[in-house]
Every structure is written in C-alpha cells, then in structure tokens.
Amino acid sequence: MLTALLFGVSRTFALTIPQLPTALARVVGNAYLLCRIEDTIEDEPALDALEKQELCTRFAALIAPASPPDKALEAARALARELVPRLSASTLPEERRLVGELPRVIAQLRQFTTVEQHAIARCVVCMGQGMAEFQQHASTRGLADLASLDRYCYHVAGVVGEMLTTLFCEHVPALRTRHDALMDLAVSFGQGLQMTNILKDVWEDLARGACWLPRSVFADAGFDLDRLGTPARGTPETARQHAFRHLVGIAHAHLRRALEYTLLIPREETGIRNFCLWAVLMALLTLKRIASRPDYRSGNEVKISRRSVRAVVVASRLCTRQDGLTRLLFGLTASGLPLTPLRA
C-alpha cells in the first residue's frame, strides 16, 4: 500500500528507493512520504502562514519518537481528518490520498529502530522549520544571495542527505568508520539535486508567486531578477542566461561532491550505490538540457526522457562496482557542462 503511495507522489523515488536493501528501502520510503506530507502542507495555498505553522507543529509532535505510539496514531487520525477537507484543487489527488493515509505512515514509522526514528524526526522537523521560514517570505523577487540559497537548500534537501547518511550507517556497519567523511559530503549531495529542481521548475514556481534564485548572481551578470518573467531580448547569450549557466555550474560542482559521497559506499552495496548514482546522473542530464536550452519556459522542456532514464539505469548497473568506470560514466554524462568552483 505504501509503495503505491510512493509511486503516486514521485516516480523518480519510486524507481530509486526499491534499489536499496529491503529493510532500508522501507525506512527511506517512509521518510520520503513523511517529508512529502509536510511539503504538501507548506505548498497548500488555502492555508495561511499561521495555519501552516500550527499544522506542521502538530505533525512534528506525532513523529517525535518520545510520543507514545497510541497517542501518535490518534493524533495522526485527527490531523488527517482535519487536513484533507482543507486541501484545495491545487493539491494533486495523489498527495491528498497520501495525507489521508497519514495514520498508516505513522504506524509504519513506529516499527523502526530508535536511531531510525530519531533521524527521520530530526529531518522532518528541520525541514518544516526551514520551509515555514522561507515560505513566509516567498516572493517572485527571489532570494538575496548565494548564502540564502545555501540555507534554503539545506533545509529542504541538505538535511535529507544527513538523514540518509545516518540511515545508511545504521544498516551497513562497515560504513560507520566513514560516517564523518559521508557527512562532510551529504549536504552537497542534497543541494546538487535541489538546485537542479529549482532551475528546472523556476517557471512553475514563478507562476505560484515564488522564486528561489539568488538575486546577487543575476545582478553580478547585469540582469535584474524582477525582469525574469519578461521575454529575453538581445544576443543569444543574454545576461540572464549567463546567470543561469553560473548556477548550473554550482549545481554541477555539488554533484561532483555527490559522486565522491557515492564512491564512499562499499562496492558490494550495489543497491545503495545505484540509489545514489541514478539520482546524480539524472540530475546531470537535466542540467545539460537546461544549459542547452537557455530560453526554456517550462520544466517539461528540460525534463529528461524515459529513454534517458533507462540509459542511466543500464549504464549504472554496468559500472557501479568499479570506481574508475563510475567516474568515467559521470565524466561522460557531465561533458560540456559549466563548472563553477564552490565557495569555501
């Protein structure tokens, strides 16, 4: 049942999560569903900022491992009954169904170890606090600078990388000696994927009244971000396009760190390696489409095809046990992408 929910709200994660070892896949899948429920609350336009804050506080309380299981399930049922009727038509049917199944998701969460529950709870609470802050000030004017973008990406994705690291180390004892090295790279893993999504979905976000691009990068390129929604004029390589390429380069740099994260996973753990590598390679292909179509006006224009996804799956399975081949595959996939050095 929960697997069907996962497929309904994310075909990408419905593809990658089953690659993990069975027990780990259950935990990661549950964590993703919980994050998606919180995301649904934050994105619901029918709720004001105070209502979202109150709902997210209740949501975090029922996830807390210290909360008695019976009370948590009762609170989950009450929250689902209250929230589902308040969701507007802008919420997808699959997301509405997921919110209605909140008690079942919580019941599964309570089957996990204390370490797993604490890792998931920390991620969900941190994500909720960050999203509430940024959603409260969201506008089409974008974020102030790269530091603000880093903070946003940490709260919505970097913290997920940290959670995954804890879960991986819990399930694979051999990884525990590499915990610190993995944590050093985990935030970049999340940020590379999140920046790719920000760039892909920029026009859809703009239509909803939000923009997560940093104004300073566009100002440095000689472009006013307030003009983002207006048609580009002038030479093919406009100031706006320069700024986009700069951000593509930053995302590419983070994905290079994500590759190093992946290669820290023992070679025999092919499921975890594939889970990581598939996400990285699909993000690289999306960045290449963004870089090659500077005038795209919709996420669908730069979305990778199913054929590309199949190619990623086949190539990864052939290379994943060999670090040298995996690096070669990454290099070939990233060929031609701009690369922007990361700040200290």
Query: What pLDDT, in 10s, does the model give residues 96-123?
Result: 999 999 999 999 999 999 999 999 999 9
pLDDT at 233: 55
- pLDDT greater than 90 at residue 270: yes
pLDDT at 90: 86
Location of each CATH 1.10.600.10 domain in the chain: 1-137, 142-344
Question: Residue 337: pLDDT band by 50, 70, 90 thresholds?
Answer: very high
Q: Which residues of 116-148 are buried (b: 16+ CB within 10 A; e: fewer)?
A: bbbbbbebbbbbbbbbbebeeebeeebbeebeb
pLDDT at 230: 73
Tens digits of residue pLDDT in 163-183: 999 999 999 999 999 999 999
Nearest in space to 279 (alpha carbons), one of 36, 13, 28, 30: 13
Where would I find the H helices in the chain? 2-9, 11-16, 22-43, 49-63, 69-83, 93-100, 102-109, 114-136, 146-153, 159-171, 179-200, 202-207, 215-220, 239-263, 270-292, 299-302, 306-319, 323-334
Tens digits of residue pLDDT in 38-97: 989 988 888 887 888 888 888 988 898 888 888 989 999 999 999 999 999 988 899 999
pLDDT at 236: 45
pLDDT at 50: 83
pLDDT at 235: 47
Question: Residue 229: pLDDT band by 50, 70, 90 thresholds?
Answer: confident
Which CATH class for the 1-137 domain? mainly alpha
Question: Residue 2: pLDDT band by 50, 70, 90 thresholds?
Answer: low
Question: Residue 1: pLDDT band by 50, 70, 90 thresholds?
Answer: low
Tens digits of residue pLDDT in 13-43: 888 999 999 999 999 999 999 999 998 998 8
- pLDDT greater than 80 at residue 11: no
Instruction: Name the residue with higher pLDDT: 326 or 3.
Output: 326
Could you give the 3-state DSSP secondary structure of residue 337?
coil
- Sequence letter at residue 208: R
Task: Average the pLDDT over 291-309 and give the result.
Answer: 92
pLDDT at 237: 56
Q: Any idea which of 100-104, 139-143, 207-211, 307-311 has the lowest mean pLDDT? A: 207-211
Looking at the domain 142-344, which fold is it? Farnesyl Diphosphate Synthase (1.10.600)
pLDDT at 238: 86
Percent of the chain residues topping a pLDDT of 90: 73
Task: Average the pLDDT over 139-143 and give the result.
Answer: 93
d(CA 119, CA 117): 5
pLDDT at 136: 80
- pLDDT greater than 80 at residue 231: no
Task: Average the pLDDT over 306-319 and give the result.
Answer: 94
